[in-house]
A and B are shown apart, each in its own frame.
Chain A
Amino acid sequence: MNETFANPPSVEIFRAQKAAQGLFSWIATVDHKRIGILYLLTAFFFFGVGGLEALVMRLQLAKPNNHLLSPDAYDQLFTMHGTTMIFLVVMPTLIGFANYFVPLMIGARDMAFPRLNAMGYWFFPFGGLLLHFSLLAGGAPSVGWFSYAPLSETPFASSPGVDYWILALFALGIGSISTSINLIATVLALRAPGMSIRRLPLFTWMVFVNSFLLIMAMPALNAAIIMLFIDRQLNAHFFLPSHGGSAILWQHFFWTFGHPEVYIMVLPAFGIISEVIPVFSRKPIFGYEFVAGSTVAIALLSFGVWAHHMFAVGLGQPMDIFFAATSMMIAVPTGVKVFNWSATLWGGSIRLTTSMLFAVAFLLQFTLGGLSGVTFAVVPVDWQVTDTYYLVAHFHYVLFGGSLFGVFAGIYYWFSKMTGRLLSESIGKVHFWLTVIGFNMAFFVQHFLGLMGMTRRVYTYPDFPGWGLLNLISTIGAFILGFSVLVLIWNIFVSLRRGATAGDNPWNAWTLEWAASSPPAEHNFDQLPPIHGRRPLWDLTHPENPDESETFKKESAEGKKDKNKIGMMCFIASEAFFFIMLLIAYIFYNFSQHPNPGSEWLNPLKTGIFTFCLMASSFTYWLAEKKLESKNHKGFLVWLVATLAFGGAFMTGQAMEYWELFQKGLRAGTSLFSASFFMVTGLHGLHVMIGLVALLIVLAMALAGDFKTGKIGTVKTIGLYWHFVDAVWIAVFTTIYLVGVRT
């Protein structure tokens, strides 16, 4: 194979980390593979924590009228269990796999932004610690993983648990948004020659789509929790109906995030399955385009179905009908995938390795969970079974029977690549059967309990006929499941010490990660095989029968993409969604007929002048860029300083306005107007400050002569952000000062 590519030479940051030794080198690492492993290990730790919480709950529920736990302790446990499993286990595990394998699968040296990658990871243990710190600070949150208002408001949840929950989710949100941006930039900018977007391995494709989903969905959660935090800390009443707020808005905002979140937790698992099933069926995936396309359909539809979480709220018949219809529609692309996987299995020479077993079990269990999901789209059924154990069974079939089974399939599939040793197949089979039996025992019976009316989130239940027995079965199943995790740990431990050496490609798989050594060298590849199709390693070993029969093709038109620009655009998109949510909240609280004191003190004219300053700063920045392009360094500096001055003038103006309003006695808690006004303008002001700091850094770099060489990338990227902040202000100014002011 003489047509190979050398990898780009390592850059300075990679050399820098070599100085670090031992354990510290893991903390200092910016290597995507190490970060991926850190993600997986940390998530596995939290999996243990969340699992133990579940087992304690199951012990409490083992028999009727049990008093092992107090109601409050039980509430704390299910809240922590849900939050942990979603934000600290499933999401980071999938992100960990993505971190490790996306660069390998596309033949890249590392992620697009290795330092950002490390930052994204460290936000994760930080968030986990914040969440668990609540235990020391007066009790864990006890309001459920979705923290429905007004229950999560100070009058009903006075311990700081919810505050820590908010801070933890915010930290985790920053981490996952930054990692998503990183993954998008990696896939768009760092693909090896020949790896066109059409040839992306399906895992990479789904992670790619999923990252878009994340950067669009997380802002809704961030907006909601910021509002809740303002309620709790600054005595506002966004979600307190007793003071004119709206508890329903919390639900809308939460589920705007929450439903896409469901798919965020399952799409990468779909990706793992789409890798594992073809390899162990010895066939290419059936209908690649359909699997890839249906992913996009799922991602888009997932934003249009959140109201089905709120059928029981009473949104009105028209809402219910429309959202019942969309919720049923989303089953279609998911069903397409199930058919594709089944068709891939059909007629293949199937090798039932442990990984494949988990994949097949995934297929069955996920379908079951999907079907019970469709029943929730039928509004009257939803009314009947919502918040019963039927729901608990449903989402565990999707998230455990689906996502986590996908993760297990991935662990057995990729362990050899990550460590160089194969996991023991015999112990693996024990692990598999224990997991399947334990899982189905624990959760299948809950369907019946739910249909019989057992409600979730209640610490105990009366001794109705059959309930005790079914719950006991469920508890036994849960403990078998717990034991199966010990088997997995044992398997990992044993295999790491004396497992069979794997070699580069133990499964005869076809994607690029198997072309690297096991474990891959720090720089991933010495040489990349040529990429002419979706299965480069198949083409390599079967030159007589390549995947694509026509002339070999490549996509050259795409050219080199600027990763900084992509990263900044994604960040801006995410921020734009954030501000859209905030403005929706503002409009919601201010455009209704209720009297809303405070808005009459706004002075559109005065603020208009400072608005002009901000607009002017965009213009001067543009001039600065022009000067730099024409190599006029001095002119560049002048206009850059002018930009800073105008930005500073705007901030001064806003400070003055705040001061005046304060003098008049307006506080965040005064009215819904004041709360939403301070929230929107304050958060925008924060963004302007960040922009000013970034501009100061540009100025410092300019003074140090960094741009004299004609490098303009940094200036342009920061410029995008600065223009964005200005554009947001136009929307804010129009909404608050021009349309919103009542005279």
Chain B
Amino acid sequence: MTIQQLLLSTWDWNSLLIAGCIAALFFYAILCGLKFSGKSVFFITGVVLFFLALDSPINFLSKGILFSAHMLQHLMLVLMVPPLILLGLPNTRNHRDILSYVPLVKHPLAAWLSGVGAMWFWHVPAFCDAAASNELIHTVQTFSLLFLGLLFWRPIVGPRVEERLSPLIGILYLFSACIGCSLLGIWITFAPVSVCPVFMNPTASRGVFAMIRDDWGLTPAMDQQIGGLLMWVPPCFVYLGAILILLSRFYRQPEEVFPFPLKKGRKK
């Protein structure tokens, strides 16, 4: 197999997925009253990334072939799609979403745990293996990642502005999450054992492996190292980007009126 073949012929074209994505875009258009704004770009990018993660060669490779591709898919689903979708939703102040009725899930600590927990939970070797080899569990994994990711990002970029964390607390939230997933990344990078044994003894067609092992020179150990580094380094930049967004929000926030203005009616 050549790279060209890999890029062209391994798309899944899952009709359910395509229908789902189109439906999402359709409902989004209705939600915005068919008016497109800058925010729509976020939402559409989110849906496109979601589609790419689950339909493109990334998905093909992540099913028991390349651990690093699995990690890429994992990160797209937790760290990229959810914040983009949330950023795309129109800001609401009045109506409640489903979560407003569940106080516990709304708590920032629960949100934090679901985000960081999603990373750790699915890298327990048994679960990681199961998801990479069993289609049903893989689907469960996909949607749990997406859902937990949405929960995690809600206090930062959620559409309900008043339920967002204050910027400085938000920075702590993101920074500690960054540490949480860096530790996992460091563990995977340096672990002497396989985190996801399926990828060590792959069963997929030999053609792909001729390319990966021989042409690319990618050994399973290196593959896991790249996966660990993917978990460790790029998320930190996502978190850092979010932290910078929070900082800019912090400096833009209108300040409250000083109780004793210097002199009245002064203008520049």
Contact = CB atoms under 8 A, between A and B. Distances in A.
B257 interface: yes
B229 A555 contact: no
Nearest to A196: B255
A126 interface: no
A19 B85 CA distance: 65
A553 B236 contact: no
Interface in A558-613: 580, 584, 587-588, 591-593
A386 to B, nearest CB: 21
Interface in A144-195: 194
A555 B247 contact: no
Interface string B176-207: 00100011001101111100000000000000
B259 A322 contact: no
Which of under 10, 10 to 19, 20 to 34, or 35 or more describes the interface residues of A? 35 or more
Given A300-B175, A300-B236, A532-B262, A293 B222 contact: no
Contacts of A316: 222, 225
Interface stretch (A229-237, A542-550, A641-649): A542-550
A296 B262 contact: no
A268 interface: no
Which of under 10, 10 to 19, 20 to 34, or 35 or more describes the interface residues of B? 35 or more
B255 A325 contact: no
B33 interface: no
Contacts of A530: 260, 262
Nearest to A293: B247
Interface string B241-268: 0011001101100111111111100111
A584 B190 CA distance: 11
Interface in A318-337: 318-319, 322-323, 325-326, 329
B112 to A, nearest CB: 15
Contacts of A584: 183, 186
Interface in A31-51: none
A142 B175 CA distance: 38
A552 B257 contact: yes
Interface string B71-107: 0000000000000000000000000000000000000
Interface in B10-54: none
A318 B229 contact: yes
Given A301-B240, A546-B266, A592-B192, A322 B229 contact: yes
A555 B256 contact: yes
Contacts of B239: 300
Given A532-B258, A593-B192, A289 B263 contact: no
B236 A549 contact: no
A552 B262 contact: yes
A709 interface: no
A552 B267 CA distance: 11
Contacts of B187: 587
A119 interface: no
B171 interface: yes
A233 to B, nearest CB: 28
Contacts of B233: 304, 322-323, 325-326
Contacts of A310: none
Contacts of A588: 190
Nearest to A199: B255
A543 B265 CA distance: 12
Given A318-B226, A546-B268, A553-B256, 15 more contacts: A194-B258, A288-B251, A292-B247, A296-B247, A300-B239, A301-B240, A316-B222, A317-B222, A318-B222, A322-B233, A325-B233, A554-B257, A555-B255, A591-B191, A591-B192
Interface of B: 168, 171, 175, 178, 182-183, 186-187, 189-193, 222, 225-226, 229, 232-233, 236-237, 239-240, 243-244, 247-248, 250-251, 254-263, 266-268
Interface of A: 3, 194, 196-198, 288-289, 292-293, 296-297, 300-301, 303-304, 316-319, 322-323, 325-326, 329, 530, 532, 539, 543-546, 549, 551-557, 580, 584, 587-588, 591-593
Give me the 7 closest cross-chain CB pairs, A-B, nearest first.
Answer: A553-B255, A549-B268, A554-B258, A289-B251, A552-B258, A322-B229, A592-B192
27 contacts: A3-B262, A197-B168, A198-B251, A289-B248, A292-B251, A293-B244, A293-B247, A293-B251, A297-B240, A300-B175, A300-B178, A300-B236, A300-B240, A304-B182, A318-B225, A319-B225, A322-B232, A329-B237, A530-B260, A543-B262, A549-B268, A551-B257, A551-B261, A552-B257, A553-B256, A556-B256, A588-B190
